[in-house]
């Protein structure tokens, strides 16, 4: 990048710019690197220097009733909310991409708006309507509310994938004798799947990290992992928080890798020449 004929000023700027970017990237990643080691601290303070290695905070996380319940609740609510958001969102995306009708832009904006309406407002509003219906303090209520928050991500990723979809491929399949069902499973699905799965990952991450709506809607028995972390950080911050954080960072890494793998596979499929 740096040409041999660059002036001294350009040289200096080249290095200053790199150092600057390095510092910004450091700012992004340091918090994540700092909290993980503390989960192995034998001391009961969440601070450096560490006094020794221990797994006690992981035992606390997986052994204590509150955290186990929270983990269990998160593992019930998030997958079901994701499933609901993906099922409804994918169907609607197919319609949205192919149909032309008046008010389509408005409808799309409404379907995407749960992403931008302040989540506290969603929490209060949903609580207001769900309480008289007996849906507050219930798994059903939480799953429905989390699904609505995940819908925009599914709609955005799936419509984006479908927009790049070449319908000639289906015609080609039909001309080669495939019936619509075969064409869907053999041609459409493999090409669209990455978009659906990315949408699902976003929806899952949204629900898995959701705390505000849960604060309003959940009874103590339905406390989720983020909800439990919220009260943990507020009341008594202990290294158990670091252990939970480490587990969540591992989950995030896994999702990121999955997404990246899918993106590459998709790119390969799209640019492939027979």
Q: Per-residue string for binding with another protein, 174-203, x by CB under 8 A? A: ------------------------------
Site for another protein in 229-248 (CB under 8 A): 229-230, 233-234, 237, 241-242, 244-245, 248
Residue 115 token pair: 């992403």
Q: How many CB atoms lie within 10 A of CB 74?
A: 22
21 counts as binding another protein under rule CB under 8 A: yes
Distance separating alpha carbons of residues 222 and 17, to the nearest angstrom: 49
Cβ distance to another protein smaller for residue 256 or 269 = 256
Please, which residues have CB within 8 angstroms of residue 77's CB and are 6 or more apart in sequence? 139, 142, 143, 146, 207, 222, 224
Q: Is 86 a binder of another protein (CB under 8 A)? A: no
Q: Which residue has the tokens 């700092």?
A: 34
Closer to another protein by Cβ: residue 93 or 187: 93
Please report whether residue 140 would count as binding another protein according to CB under 8 A.
no
Q: Report if residue 77 touches another protein, rule: CB under 8 A.
A: no
User: How far is residue 266's CA from residue 161's CA, in Å, rounded to a whole number?
Assistant: 10
Min dist. Cβ of residue 228 to another protein (A): 9
Question: What is the Cβ-side half-sphere exposure of residue 68, based on CA atoms within 13 angstroms?
Answer: 6
Give the residue, chosen from 42, 64, 113, 236, that forms a contact with another protein under the rule CB under 8 A: 113
Report, in Å, the least distance between residue 6 CB and another protein. Answer: 9
């Amino acid at each position: 990048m740096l040409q041999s004929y660059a002036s001294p000023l350009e040289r200096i700027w080249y290095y200053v710019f790199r150092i600057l970017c390095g510092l910004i990237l450091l700012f992004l990643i340091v918090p994540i690197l700092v909290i993980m080691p503390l989960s192995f601290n034998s001391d009961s303070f969440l601070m450096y220097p560490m006094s020794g290695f221990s797994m006690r905070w992981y035992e606390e996380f997986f052994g204590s009733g509150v955290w186990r319940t929270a983990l269990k609740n998160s593992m019930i609510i998030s997958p079901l909310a994701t499933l609901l958001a993906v099922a409804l969102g994918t169907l609607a995306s197919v319609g949205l991409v192919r149909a032309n009708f008046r008010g389509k832009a408005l409808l799309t904006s409404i379907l995407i708006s749960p992403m931008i309406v302040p989540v506290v407002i969603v929490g209060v509003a949903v609580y207001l309507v769900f309480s008289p219906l007996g849906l507050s303090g219930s798994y059903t209520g939480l799953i429905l509310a989390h699904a609505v928050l995940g819908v925009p991500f599914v709609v955005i990723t799936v419509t984006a994938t479908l927009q790049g979809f070449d319908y000639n491929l289906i015609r080609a399949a039909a001309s080669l004798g495939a019936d619509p069902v075969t064409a869907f499973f053999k041609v459409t699905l493999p090409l669209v799947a990455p978009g659906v799965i990315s949408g699902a990952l976003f929806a899952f991450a949204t629900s898995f990290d959701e705390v505000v709506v849960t604060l309003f809607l959940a009874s103590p028995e339905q406390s989720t992992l983020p909800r439990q972390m919220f009260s943990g950080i507020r009341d008594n911050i202990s290294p158990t928080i670091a252990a939970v954080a480490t587990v969540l960072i591992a989950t995030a890494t896994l999702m990121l890798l999955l997404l990246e793998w899918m993106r590459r596979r998709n790119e390969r499929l799209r640019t492939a020449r027979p």
